[in-house]
Structure 1
């Protein structure tokens, strides 16, 4: 039995329902823009934040289930074309739309990370950029045989944001740095190995998982309800073990650690780009960095280094500072133009080599562009 909450909206880009359980209710969030692979717009971010705030204080809501419409993607990222328009219409900034989008998206991500009630994210299909930010923030993250995860921001001169500075720094060995620099695609097994997911469950069990959640007698204790969520998911994960795909990251860890072992970031970049390999996954990773912005590779590396000991709050504050400076600089707009607007895949990057980037220019991206960080009150 469901109680629709999308009143007043025809075909809302985010649908909200309350599912009646044996005791209590489950809030259901469905990203509903399959034509754009459920890419997040500012409106979608705001809708999700408002509902999270409402349900946080609703004693009837014991848990939350987040999924998405369509078979292809949970969420392919943020609405990068809208960010592009904001950047090109306001060269040098401020870029009000883009900067508001980042601030509100990161605030929503922080809400997910710090939510007391259990949130389950069903991360099927493409999970990239802003979609990974949503999934990574949830306490119970499910991936399926169709899951394809990537943070390919180096190809558009951005960086793995939405908390990437947090979860990439917590991956085994140098896996986080390698994935950030190359934008390499990973699957469900890799997500489990790197800590991006908690459970692998075959797609065929989704309806049964929801049914099981509705059969539970949820309590007023968030801790007890987290335990109940584990109890519901565990048997489905056990039944799905035979369909888990082979991973790429763990088998390549020795190579990843060797490639990322340089005296400085320039040597790491050289190691990755210069590798001679017939391995298809490593080849695609190499090409991602080779064709990406070398300036972006530098700020990606530095962001991860500077936040390696940061708190979650400090991570999102620092990401907003970097994102704001990036969107005001022309490299980002050129990357988006080449990949997503004109689609000529011929970006005119400002530097052919990371060694050409002046230290003062890189430093400028890590200086606050305002008197107070908009996320100071997280």
Structure 2
């Protein structure tokens, strides 16, 4: 077992068991490294065949985060220090996306307890849950444009379940979605108090079900969570995103050049929207162009095809794109001043974008 992830079981509906996955690196906000990814995948496959396990619960240790992303610094070091030309990158991203797909297609109900930061790779884990629980502390985001990547971990699929302007806005701006907006948009399924954690697990442990068939298990989970969403003490956060629906629709219309021009001219009294605007304008122009290409392609695609294509795109961006410079500036040297390959989206040669989507054996 990895020291950065813990596995245990708790009682479920009196006679059954709940498998618990606990990301256990709170100092680094439970960032996912390859060892954790492989350990979780292995345990999930074991539990899937175990008749005693009725459902799975995924959580993060500490008060700050469910999971703030993948440990992309490891990928950066493999490229910059070991000069492996993407060998580790391919293994890391491939394994991460296989895990995300496993959770999405899991044969038993999965509950994601999404407290605190849920970002990047954390969203890949969280969005696979049948029950995606958020609370006042929750902040959901896809911040990859800030490190020269793009919203991966299946975001080409799950962001495309939203109206187009929301999908584009979240992908291009690293905007942090609160619990109310997450439920309004369908990113989350239940909104509860942060301090409901122990009581939720206690109620999942109590009661009885006739058998461990999925519909019985699901009914028990839904009954418990529904009770907590109706609690009087649940503080209702003001929706920040959906209240700006029309403004976002105008901002996110057209191609990436239209969006760039609109964002440059955008003025707002909202500090959160202002921060999102700044993230876009300071983020990787190459990533911005690739993000729109990938989102457009992802419309109507299956999860399987999305993960296959994302693996190719992520490896190519890490080797040839702005990824290494973005990770250096934000996470390694932390000088916050990346030097991107292009000054703006206006300078990104559109005819070169297709190269990032081509399998490496097909690249010139």
The bucket for the TM-score relative to the shorter chain is over 0.9
Aligned-partner Cα distance in 2 for 1:26–1:212: 12
Matches within 5 A, 1:62-73: 62-73=54-65
Match of 2:180?
189
Is 1:85 the equivalent of 2:77? yes
Match of 1:139?
130
Match of 1:14?
5
Is 1:276 the equivalent of 2:258? no
SS at match of 2:310: helix
Structure 1 position 220, deviation (Å): 2.6
CA contact (8 A) 2:148 2:321 kept: no
Q: Number of residue pairs matched?
A: 360
Residues 11-56 of structure 1: per-residue CA shift (max 9 Å, x gap):
x211111113312111111111111110001010011101110000
Match of 1:116?
107
Aligned-partner Cα distance in 1 for 2:36–2:207: 30
Structure 1 position 238, deviation (Å): 0.6
Residues 41-87 of structure 1: per-residue CA shift (max 9 Å, x gap):
10100111011100001011001111111001111100011111122
Structure 1 position 321, deviation (Å): 1.0
Aligned-partner Cα distance in 2 for 1:226–1:239: 21
Which stretches of structure 1, 4 residues or longer, exceed 6 Å deviation after superposition?
Answer: none
Aligned-partner Cα distance in 2 for 1:331–1:252: 31
TM-score by length of 2: 0.95
Is 1:76 the equivalent of 2:68? yes
- Runs (5+) with no aligned partner, structure 1: 1-5, 372-378
TM-score by length of 1: 0.92
Structure 1 position 278, deviation (Å): 2.4
Residues 325-352 of structure 1: per-residue CA shift (max 9 Å, x gap):
1011151101111111111111111111
When residues 85 and 237 of structure 1 are mapped into structure 2, their CA distance, relative to the original with a 3 A threshold, is: same
Aligned-partner Cα distance in 2 for 1:85–1:224: 47
SS at match of 1:15: strand
SS at match of 2:145: helix
Aligned-partner Cα distance in 2 for 1:96–1:192: 38
CA contact (8 A) 1:23 1:216 kept: no
Match of 1:292?
283
CA contact (8 A) 1:321 1:368 kept: yes
Structure 1 position 240, deviation (Å): 5.5
1:130 aligned residue (110, 121, 132):
121
1:336 aligned residue (327, 337, 345):
327
Aligned-partner Cα distance in 1 for 2:353–2:48: 40
Is 1:360 the equivalent of 2:351? yes
When residues 42 and 292 of structure 1 are mapped into structure 2, their CA distance, relative to the original with a 3 A threshold, is: same
